[in-house]
């Protein structure tokens, strides 16, 4: 199933929910999920500056994972920022957060304006080109507790975001693009019932940075 941003309603998957001044908002209409997409939550000017600053200022790291006994590089660079003490284990990698920086605090404040919750951490992914990706997973690590609230913002090259239901195999895969300055919200049962990924692409794509704001429930 394909979501065409030029068509408001594509295959009845998306229900237009609101137009808050300049913001175009779409609510995904699928079972067992609460997914909302703001196409341009940040202006182009804001997004350009944020992209540049994150690229320069974030302490990007190349993590490795074990695959069939071999160590391989994760196909993206990552970073973990947040309140001190909020450790997080992801793909068997434990990360200690780096303290918030001014640009990250600024983005956090902007997303919290509509989130009505306060985030204590953010995972950053840097996709250098189309070979970088994140494979099928749910953001369901125990530290996130039940029904995690994920606010995901994207800057830079547009990439395809895909979702598949974990149990109802007959449900078609959903896909749409995450654009420069977009905000994707996943909450409720989304992580319990759905997996998501950013697939690799052979298309020429610009570098992209994604931030997923999260609430770590317990100290580890």
Nearer of residues 47 and 190 to Mn ion, judged by Cβ: 190
Site string (87-126) toward ligand AKG, x via CB under 6 A: ------------------------------------x-x-
Nearer of residues 179 and 191 to Mn ion, judged by Cβ: 191
Q: Which of 210, 213, 215, 216 binds ligand AKG (CB under 6 A)?
A: 210
**Residues from 139 through 178 that contact ligand AKG (CB under 6 A):** 139, 152, 154, 161, 178
Q: How many helices (H) and strands (E) does the chain have?
A: 3, 16
Q: At 44, which helix (H) or strand (E)?
A: helix 44-57
Which residue has its beta carbon closest to ligand AKG? 210
Q: Nearest approach, Cβ of 21 to ligand AKG (angstroms)?
A: 25
When asked if residue 196 is in the footprint of ligand AKG (CB under 6 A), the reply is yes
In degrees to the nearest 10, what's the CA dihedral of 171, 6, 14, 40?
A: 120
Q: How many CB atoms lie within 10 A of CB 146?
A: 10
Q: How many residues bind Mn ion (CB under 5 A)?
A: 1
When asked if residue 139 is in the footprint of Mn ion (CB under 5 A), the reply is yes
Nearer of residues 24 and 91 to Mn ion, judged by Cβ: 91
DSSP assignment of 66-131, as one string? EETTEEEE-SSEEEEEESTT--EEETTEEEPPBPP-HHHHHHHHHHHHHH-S---EEEEEEE-STT
Reading phi first (left if > 0) and then psi (alpha if -120 to 50, else beta), residue 69 is in left
Confirm if 84 and 154 have CB atoms less than 8 A apart. Answer: no
7 φ/ψ angles, rounded to the nearest 5 degrees: -105, 125
Nearer of residues 9 and 142 to ligand AKG, judged by Cβ: 142
Name the binder of 210 from Mn ion, ligand AKG, none, CB < 5-8 A by kind: ligand AKG
* d(C-alpha 138, C-alpha 196), whole Å: 6
- Contact positions toward ligand AKG, by CB under 6 A? 123, 125, 134, 139, 152, 154, 161, 178, 196, 198, 210, 212
- Contact positions toward Mn ion, by CB under 5 A? 139
């Amino acid at each position: 199933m394909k979501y065409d941003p030029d068509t408001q309603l594509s295959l009845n998957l998306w229900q237009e929910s609101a137009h808050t001044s300049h913001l175009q908002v779409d609510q995904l209409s699928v079972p067992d999920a609460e997914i909302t997409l703001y196409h341009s939550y940040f202006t182009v000017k804001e997004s350009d500056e944020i992209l540049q600053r994150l690229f320069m200022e974030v302490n990007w790291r190349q993590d490795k994972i074990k695959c069939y006994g071999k160590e391989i590089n994760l196909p993206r660079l990552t970073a973990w920022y947040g309140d001190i003490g909020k450790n997080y284990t992801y793909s068997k990698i434990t990360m200690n957060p780096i303290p918030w920086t001014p640009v990250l605090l600024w983005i956090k404040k902007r997303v919290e304006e509509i989130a009505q919750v306060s985030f204590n951490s953010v995972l950053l992914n840097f996709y250098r080109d189309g070979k970088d990706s994140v494979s099928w997973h749910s953001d369901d690590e125990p530290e996130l507790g039940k029904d995690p609230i994920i606010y995901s913002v994207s800057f830079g090259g547009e990439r395809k975001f895909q979702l598949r239901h974990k149990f109802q195999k007959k449900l078609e895969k959903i896909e749409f693009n995450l654009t420069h300055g977009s905000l994707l919200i996943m909450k409720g049962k989304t992580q319990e019932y759905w997996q998501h990924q950013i697939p690799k692409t052979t298309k020429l794509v610009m570098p992209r940075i994604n931030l997923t704001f999260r609430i770590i429930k317990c100290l580890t």
